[in-house]
Structure 1
Amino acid sequence: MSRSIRLLNLLQRLREYRHPVTAQTLAEHLQISVRSVYRDIETLRAQGVRIEAAAGLGFQLKEDFLLPPMTLDETEIEAIFLALYWLKSVPDQSLQLASNAVLAKLDAVLPKHRQHFMEQTTLRAFNVWLPVDMQILEQIRMAIRQQVKISVKYIDEQKNESIRTLWPFAMGYFNDKIVIAAWCELRQAFRNFRVDRVRQLVLSQDVYPQFKQQLFRQWWEQEKRDSTTDRN
């Protein structure tokens, strides 16, 4: 990791804390030494970043000089907050951490009166999800992003087990379940797979032969023609 990236990561971590945070905590999050944290904080200070040190408590970012003010009205703030709060319930640790990071960035760029409004927002989204393997969920998102094939052990509705090679191109969050939309090489057709029924997953390096946007459009046309959602 380059030093410039490390400094940006440190700055982002400081944004996420409303109260002082210790150098030890920052070092653990960033996977660097405590000594490096102190050295990087001094570098940021030399560049004009206001980072205050509280004896026995740690460091706190007092203002963010890098990000410009952002203009959002109250309804837009409520919409973003509600979406990010809902995301905290999704059983995917990376997305949960990302939602916290986005909220911290918003807090850094919003004018003071909008920051106060966001802090006072009481809109909430609640969801109860079927248990899933978070590592498998993250691997599926990675496969969709990179447009590569995956091999899964899947348990269908009748408790039958099969090994499938899939081209995952979309994922949907429906009520209590998370569903993968994919081309199934076994069936030679589009199929929907519930993530809670995936028992094992191997992430391939093989790029599938169509762009995910093309597959999504073809699948969506089929879904509009056929309302059956579980034909595995």
Structure 2
Amino acid sequence: MSRAARLLDLLELLRRHRAPIPGPALAEELGISIRTLYRDIATLQAQGADIQGEPGLGYVLRPGFTLPPLMFSADELEALVLGSRWVAVRGDARLAAAAGNAVAKLRAVLPDDLRANVDTATLTVPMFRSEPVAIDASVIRAAIRKEHRLVITYQDQNGESTTRTIWPLLIGFFDKVQVLAAWCELRQDYRAFRVDRIRSVEPKDERYPRRRTVLVQEWRARQVALAPAGN
């Protein structure tokens, strides 16, 4: 393995962890000696990577250091292009435009050989659309990011409409539908709402009383508990 590739692997390993990682654990995962690890960390720090820590305490990479785009592998580029194509087909207009813009920005800074990998990506997705959505789904995404309540009018499978105040948590994208996971104040429980059945959405300029990260953990635990045995 070249030294440049080894430095990139070290950066990626640090990027995946928020808590400090002991030097011996880093060295073992990278397959290098502890002395080589210390030299590599010093090299990255000299190049501007905000790696904090010291021997015996562990190391952590602070946010803000940008990897050179030329370091993407062919597989990584194909994964990014595939993801953007999936969003372009399954997402709403704003998400589709964002996916296209992201790939265009990436393509603009790549060297010629890697740019060709973007233009000739070998992976694609089926070109069929999800169920049409009547509301602006970006309103839901904004409320999730802000941890704000939403008031929605929801039509169930029988055509009955109800007005709900919800705490939006996650949007799941399936082949033909998007499903919003949320806490429903009316039911006092977690509920799933098909986005194509939401007839209106009104953002409320108020946070819900609990942190989204905690609610998502509870919701995931609920899904595991409800899953059929043996799955």
Is TM (by shorter chain) over 0.5? yes
Structure 2 letter corresponding to 1:129: S
1:117 aligns with 117
Distance in 2 separating the partners of 1:71 and 1:177: 36
Q: Which amino acid aligns with 1:217?
A: Q
C-alpha separation in 2, matches of 1:180 and 1:70: 37
Letter in 1 for 2:192: N
User: Contact between 2:70 and 2:114, CA under 8 Å: does it hold in 1?
Assistant: no
Q: Check the 8 A contact 1:179/1:195 in 2, yes or no.
A: yes
Q: CA deviation at 1:200?
A: 0.9
Shift of 1:97: 1.2
Give yes or no for contact 1:149–1:168 (8 Å, CA) kept in 2. Answer: yes
CA–CA distance in structure 1, aligned partners of residues 69 and 222 of structure 2: 44
Residue 190 of structure 1: aligned partner: 190
Q: Which letter does structure 2 place at the counterpart of 1:89?
A: V
Q: Which runs of 5+ in 2 are unaligned?
A: 1-66
Shift of 1:109: 2.0
Moved more, 175-184 or 120-129: 120-129
Q: Deviations over 1:107-144 (max 9, x none)?
A: 12222100012111131112430110251x11111110
Query: Is this contact kept in 2: 1:93–1:134, CA < 8 A?
Result: no
1:126-174 residue CA offsets vs partner (Å, 9 max, x unmatched): 2430110251x11111110111000011111222211100000111001
Report the counterpart of residue 94 of structure 2 in structure 1: 94
Are 2:87 and 2:99, in contact at CA under 8 Å, matched by a contact in 1?
yes
Give 1:95 deviation, angstroms. 0.9
Q: Give the superposition deviation at 1:68.
A: 5.2
Normalising to structure 1: TM-score of the pair? 0.66
**CA distance in structure 2 between the partners assigned to 1:80 and 1:201 by the alignment:** 31
**Structure 1 residues 69 and 200: alpha-carbon distance in aligned structure 2, compared to 1, 3 A threshold:** closer
Amino acid at match of 2:134: D
Alpha-carbon contact 2:190-2:219 (below 8 Å) kept: yes
Q: 1:90 offset after TM fit, Å?
A: 2.5
Which position in structure 1 is the counterpart of 2:131?
Answer: 130
Aligned to 1:71: 71
SS in 1 for 2:129: coil
Q: Percent identity?
A: 34
Pair 1:76–1:134, CA change in 2 (3 A)? farther
Could you say which residue in structure 1 is the equivalent of 2:226? 226
Q: Normalising by structure 2, what TM-score?
A: 0.66
CA RMSD of aligned residues (A): 1.7
The alignment partner of 1:125 has SS state of coil
Partner Cα separation in structure 2 for residue 119 and residue 145 of structure 1: 33
Query: What 5-or-longer segments of structure 1 have no aligned partner?
Result: 1-66
Alpha-carbon distance between aligned partners in 2 of 1:77 and 1:163, rounded to the nearest angstrom: 44
Q: Match for 2:129: what amino acid?
A: V
Q: Secondary structure at the match of 1:203?
A: strand
Tell me the secondary structure at the aligned position of residue 117 of structure 1.
Answer: helix
Q: Is the 8 A contact 2:150 2:168 kept in 1?
A: yes
- What is the number of residues matched between the two proteins? 161
* Runs of 4+ more than 6 Å apart: none
SS in 2 for 1:89: helix
Query: Is contact 1:68-1:109 (8 Å) kept?
Result: no
Which residue matches 1:199?
Answer: 199
For the residue of structure 2 that corresponds to 1:70, the secondary structure is helix
